[in-house]
Structure formats: C-alpha cells, structure tokens
Amino acid sequence: MPNVFQTLVSSKRVFRELRMLCFFKHENVSNRVFFLSLSFLLSLLSLLPPPRLFFFKEIYVITELMQSDLHKIIVSPQHLSADHVKVFLYQILRGLTYLMSSRILNENIYVNNLIDDMNLLQICDFGLARVEEPDENKHMTQEVVTQYYRAPELLMGARHYTQAVDVWSVGCIFGELLGRRILFQAQSPVQQLERITDLLGTPNLEDMRYACEGAVTHMLRRPSKPPALPALYTLSSHATHEAVHLLTQMLAFDPDKRLSVTEALAHPYLDEGRLRYHSCMCTCCASTNCGGRQYTHDFEPTAPHAFDDTWENELHSMSQVKDRLHKFILSHLARDRVPLCINPMSAAYKSFASSTVAHPSELPPSPHQWD
C-alpha cells in the first residue's frame, strides 16, 4: 500500500484495518484486504517488516489467493440454484453476526467484497470499517458503502447510523442473487433513492426521521409512489413467498423496522441453507468414522469480546501512528508469523505491483450533500 501515510486519518485507518485483520477468527470473515491496488482477493499470511522507521512509507501484506468473488459468480453463465442462494446468504449473515458481536460495521458490503473458494464465502475488505458508535449525538462519516448498496438513511444524509446499514447491503445482495442483476442501479445517489422508492413506495415522515431536512423536503416534493413489492416475485423462479418475505424485511426503509441479523438468520427461508452448510462445508462440525456428522452446539458463533479501538484516541500525530504500527507489525511477526522476502527486480513483482482493480459496474462511496 504505497503512500499510506499521506494524512493522519488515512494512516490511522490503515492501522485499524490491520488490527482488525489480526482480530478476526471466523471462517466467513476474511482477514483479506486489497493492497497495492491489486485485484487479488486477498488469510493474512505475513506482513513484510518495514525498514527503519525513518523510511516507513509503505506496507506490504502477503496473502493467499481466493478463486473468485460473488460478482463474478453472479454475472457468469454458471447455474445458481435456490440452494446456492440460500447457502451464500446464510454464510454472509453468519459472518455478519460475528462482525456485529465485535461491534464492527463493515460499511462496504457488496458483491465484489464477498470472496469465494469452492462455495465457501467470506466477507473481506475492511478499509471503511469502524467500531459502532453508541452515542447518537456524534456524527459519523457518510463516505461509506458503494452506491448501489447504500441504505436509504445514508442516501438521505443521516448523521448517525447503526448496523442496519450492513443489513440493507446484504438485502441488496440477496436480491442480486435472485435476479442476477443489481437490484437498485442508478447513476447518482439521488437517482438511487428514486429507484428504492419505486419499489418500496414513498416513505412516511416517521420512516424518514433520521434523514436531514433537505432530503425530507426533496422527498415531500416528489409525487407519492405506492409500494411495488410484488415485482420482487419476477426476479426469478427462486423468488418464492419465503424468499420475498425475508427480502422485504431486510429492505425496510426505516432502519428501526429492518430485520436484525439474528432475526434474519432465524427466518425459515435459511433453514435449508444452514443445514447444507453445516452438513459438508463448515469447519466447526466434524464427520465421524461411521459416515455421520457431529454437529457443533453453536452454528452462528460470535466474537469472544468486542473489537477495541480506544488506542486510536492516543494517536495525535503521524510519528505516533508510524511508531505504533511499526511495533505492532514486528510483534505480530515475532509471535506467530514468518517474515517473507520479495525480490523487487523480478518479473512477477513488476506484474504484481502494476496490476489494477477496475470493474465498470462498481461505483465508489458517493454521499450527496443535501444542505
């Protein structure tokens, strides 16, 4: 990651992400991240120790390679059965349960950030992730979530938001799995909001209580729209009553009315996905010598404790961040990692360092200024 120390904010974000990668211990939450602008969908194998602190300007992370991501699967000609959809959705929600028990908001869950290896799905890329803010009076950044997967409260300028934004993103992915196309695709955040209200209908004032005044004014000026939820049945033959019922509850306009991850996992639509995943795919259950299956007592494990980000309050300068990050990497390597070496003159390195990420269907986080 060249030039990661350009600003104090970005350098603290890098440190936070590396600490998260070393914190995660869950098979559906990857400690993978995009570095060096690579398209490699990257368990953290090793951190290359930086040179002397004075020259500490770059970080190199050595990782394993995953086969694909959910975006490539959805747009491929590969057949996706109803069982595929259920197992994929179950794994996303299972990983999200772990993150939320850690008090972590991913804030950028979308199909390219869900990596796949033989149908084992993992949530990756925590560059925008943060710890949940319990104080509703504290403003949170709106520069989060790729546009197509942004919750309506974010599109309408909410100053504070909760884990419900990640649930919305998963709901959009669920719809994309069913229809094999982006559920809400628009050219701008305002048009994105229009696409959402085309389906869900015009929200009432109570549903918009977290929106800023400018967004509410805009919505009230628009012609009222009725809900068009029956359109979800046309996504595909897999859009059964159970599937649409779960999808509509995950896509509630009001975040307080949106299903929680725990409630979504308890929905009967996911019963078969849970059974299939734990019958042959998970590492928490074990096959017996007689050909049976010994199931775990905890199908959706949570983190043993919340992720601690209080250390960020102690960092007020670039030199402090570099010093703490340098010590963190060295202690991590000394504890349980073997440092690796890269030959910067090799052809493989030059190809590695010059690769880029570019998908025309992707849009960066794009907040709209209403005021």
Q: How confident is the model at residue 4 (pLDDT cuts 50, 70, 90)?
A: very low
Q: Is 103 a member of any domain?
A: yes
Residues 47 and 171 in one domain: no
Question: Per residue in 341-362, pLDDT tens?
Answer: 444 555 544 554 444 433 434 5
Highest-scoring range by mean pLDDT, 55-59, 62-66, 120-124, 249-253: 249-253
Residues 55 and 73 in one domain: no
pLDDT of residue 334: 64
Q: Is the pLDDT of residue 339 over 60?
A: no
How far is the C-alpha of 319 from the C-alpha of 315, rounded, in Å?
9
Residues 7 and 24 in one domain: yes
Residues 174 and 205 in one domain: yes
Per the structure, the complete domain to which residue 174 belongs is given by: 67-294
Identify the residue with better confidence: 314 or 35.
Answer: 314
Per DSSP, 27 falls in state T
Residues 12 and 82 in one domain: no
Residues 147 and 55 in one domain: no
Q: Is 343 a member of any domain?
A: yes
CA proximity to 98, closest of 126, 115, 123 = 123
pLDDT of residue 335: 64
Question: Per residue in 126-180, pLDDT tens?
Answer: 888 888 888 887 888 776 788 999 999 999 999 899 999 999 999 999 999 999 9
Q: Is the pLDDT of residue 252 over 90?
A: yes
Identify the residue with better confidence: 326 or 96.
Answer: 96
Q: Is 364 a member of any domain?
A: no
* SS3 annotation, 136-182: CCCCCCCCCCEHHHCCHHHHCCCCCCCCHHHHHHHHHHHHHHHHCCC
For the chain, percent of residues with pLDDT exceeding 70: 78
Indicate the Cα dihedral angle 187, 192, 198, 200, nearest 10°. 160
**Amino acid identity for residue 367 in this structure:** P
Residues 72 and 61 in one domain: no
Q: How confident is the model at residue 270 (pLDDT cuts 50, 70, 90)?
A: very high
pLDDT of residue 133: 87
Are 284 and 301 in contact, with CB atoms under 8 Å apart? yes
Q: How confident is the model at residue 15 (pLDDT cuts 50, 70, 90)?
A: confident
Highest-scoring range by mean pLDDT, 187-191, 291-295, 333-337, 366-370: 187-191
Q: How confident is the model at residue 36 (pLDDT cuts 50, 70, 90)?
A: very low
Q: Is the pLDDT of residue 190 over 80?
A: yes
Q: Is 41 a member of any domain?
A: yes
Q: How confident is the model at residue 38 (pLDDT cuts 50, 70, 90)?
A: very low
Last residue of a domain, one of 240, 263, 294: 294
Total of domains in the chain = 2
Residues 55 and 71 in one domain: no
Residue 356 CB contacts under 8 Å (≥ 6 apart), including other chains: 37, 39
Q: Is 300 a member of any domain?
A: no
Helix or strand (DSSP H, E) at 130 = strand 130-131
Residues 14 and 163 in one domain: no
- CATH code where residue 223 lies: 1.10.510.10
Q: Is 309 a member of any domain?
A: no
Q: Is 140 a member of any domain?
A: yes
Are 168 and 151 in contact, with CB atoms under 8 Å apart? yes
Residues 57 and 72 in one domain: no
Residues 126 and 26 in one domain: no
Q: Is 366 a member of any domain?
A: no
Residues 16 and 104 in one domain: no
- CATH code where residue 37 lies: 3.30.200
